[in-house]
Amino acid sequence: MIPLAKPEIGAREEELVLEVLRSGRLSLGPMVERFEREFAAWLGVEDAVAVSSGTAALHLCVRALGWGRGDEVLTSPFSFVASANCLLYEGVRPVFCDVDPVTLNLDPAAAAAAIGERTVGILPVHIFGYPAAMPEFEAIAAEHGLGLLEDACESLGATDLEGRRVGARGNLATFGFYANKQLATGEGGMIVPSDPESAARLRSERNQGRAANMGWLDHDRLGFNYRLSDVAAALGVAQLEKLDAMLASRARLAVLYEHGLTAVKGVRAPVGGTGAEARSWFVYAVELPVGAERDQTIRQLAERGVASKAYLPCIPLFPHMRELGYGEGQFPVAEAASARSLALPFFPAMGESEVGRVCEALAESLS
Ligand SMILES: Cc1ncc(COP(=O)(O)O)c(C=O)c1O
């Protein structure tokens, strides 16, 4: 079976994990600081705060922005559920706005049209590694006095219209390092703070509400245990060293897929970028032709040794979001994308022949 995803774990990861194990510093040790420092340098930002997951990163950022009960934040219905759940954790209502049919990212015009009296912010998601329209969101936020939080969990390495790396525009931004991500630590996340004050608050809240100079049993605010372990940080440091090569492999595979899929009738390949925008390839999700039976296609691909997955569900249709009054028909572009998108196997070590096998299997399944 060709799997959907596979992390690139090698000798360097083993070496650095072993270094941590032998040091005896499994938590709050130097490896986390090293990961933060090297991640910030790679991204070209001043600072970065490591946390236990992308979801934890989002939650702390919602708090750092001061969003709370009674507030509304504009966000994308076509995303992984955590980008909306992080608002619910703090009693904030997610106000979904439809997405652009090509990039599948939150549509700035739809977001601007949804601004109301309770709107306090915008939470764009760089979905499938495609950079969201940040210059437009920044202009809308500045005009209406709104906060901005970038969910960059799927987009490490993407560059935006202005040629800047996603997450390096000065807004609070979050990254995630789940096992299928461009950089994988199993579980893990990173926050790019917007200034030194937010960095201090984030570091305190991830660590049970302790300021840097406080003892283990001292706390001066509500906090969480959202720390990243030093073992995970060791994986992160090793992964950073080869990140450029892994991103290049993913981009090369995307080109191979695009060529291979020209022979598969009716299937729409994802766009790599327009102008200076460049996707960081996370998953490779195609759009199946209208009328194709997706579940049957998934079964037939599996019979041919190819894993695939319906990706992503439309968030407002989950039961806990329906309780807020959402339902079918409100976000036609996102719902259509959810109904027809299919993720195919995609990981740096995938070979050209495997891409060929996937394309062939897809053509057979759809014929
Ligand atoms: C867009 C998006 N946001 C948030 C998350 C949450 O990250 P994690 O699984 O590390 O909590 C993920 C990934 O899983 C994601 O893809």
pLDDT tens digits for range 126-183: 999 999 999 999 999 999 999 999 999 999 999 998 889 999 999 999 999 999 999 9
Query: Coil, strand, or helix at residue 123?
Result: strand
Q: What is the DSSP string of 23-40?
A: HT--SSSHHHHHHHHHHH
| 3-state SS, one letter per residue, for 70-89 | CCEEEECCCCCCHHHHHHHC
Closest-CA residue to 341 (of 288, 274, 264, 271): 288
Distance CA 47, CA 60 (A): 16
Ligand 1 mean position to 12 CA, how many Å? 25
Q: Is the CB of 176 under 6 A from ligand 1?
A: yes
11-to-34, 328, 336 alpha-carbon distances in Å: 19, 49, 43
Cα gap 149→23, rounded to integer Å = 36
The predicted structure's pLDDT at residue 183: 98
Atom of ligand 1 nearest to the CA of 125: 1
- Asked whether the beta carbons of 97 and 78 are under 8 A apart, the reply is no
Q: For position 274, what pLDDT does the model report?
A: 75
**Spacing, Cα 86 to ligand 1 middle (Å):** 11
Q: Is 175 in the pocket of ligand 1 (CB under 6 A)?
A: no
Residue whose Cα lies nearest atom 8 of ligand 1: it is 54
189 Cβ inside 6 Å of ligand 1: yes
Answer whether 79 contacts ligand 1 (Cβ < 6 A): yes
Contacts of 24 (CB under 8 A, 6+ apart): none
250, containing H or E segment: helix 243-261
Residue 233 is predicted with a pLDDT of: 98
User: How much is the pTM?
Assistant: 0.98
Task: Check pocket membership of 178 for ligand 1, CB cut-off 6 A.
Answer: yes
Query: Does an H or E element contain 164, and which?
Result: none
Q: Whose CA is nearest to atom 5 of ligand 1?
A: 54
Does residue 82's CB lie within 6 angstroms of at least one atom of ligand 1? yes
- Residue 165 to residue 156: CA distance in whole angstroms: 8
Cβ of 55 closer than 6 Å to ligand 1, yes or no, is yes
How many other C-beta atoms can be found within 10 angstroms of the C-beta atom of residue 71?
20
Residue among 78, 154, 155 whose CB has most ligand 1 atoms within 8 A, to mutate: 154
CA distance 308 to 310: 7
DSSP SS3 for 258: helix
Mutate to test the pocket of ligand 1, among 75, 153, 309 (most ligand atoms within 8 A of CB): 153
Cα(80) to ligand 1 centroid in Å equals 6
Pair 78, 216: CB distance under 8 Å:
no
Residue 161 confidence (pLDDT): 84
Q: Collect the ranges in the chain with pLDDT lower than 70.
A: none
Burial class (CB in 10 A: 0-12, 13-18, 19+), 189: buried
- Kindly list the distances between the CA atom of residue 56 and the CA atoms of 135, 190, 227, in Å, as whole numbers in the listed order: 26, 9, 9
- Cβ partners under 8 Å of residue 189, min gap 6: 50, 51, 52, 53, 54, 55, 56, 57, 153, 174, 175, 176, 177, 228
Q: Please tell me the distance between residue 164's alpha carbon and the centre of ligand 1 in angstroms.
A: 22
Cα(250)–Cα(337) distance, integer angstroms: 23
Residues in contact with 327: Cβ distance below 8 Å, sequence separation at least 6, in sequence order: 316, 317
Strand partners, 290: none
Q: Quote the pLDDT of residue 162.
A: 86
Nearest to 342 by CA among 311, 365, 367: 311
Structure tokens at 242: 């080869």
- Residue 191 DSSP SS3: strand
Query: Cβ(39) to ligand 1 under 6 A?
Result: no
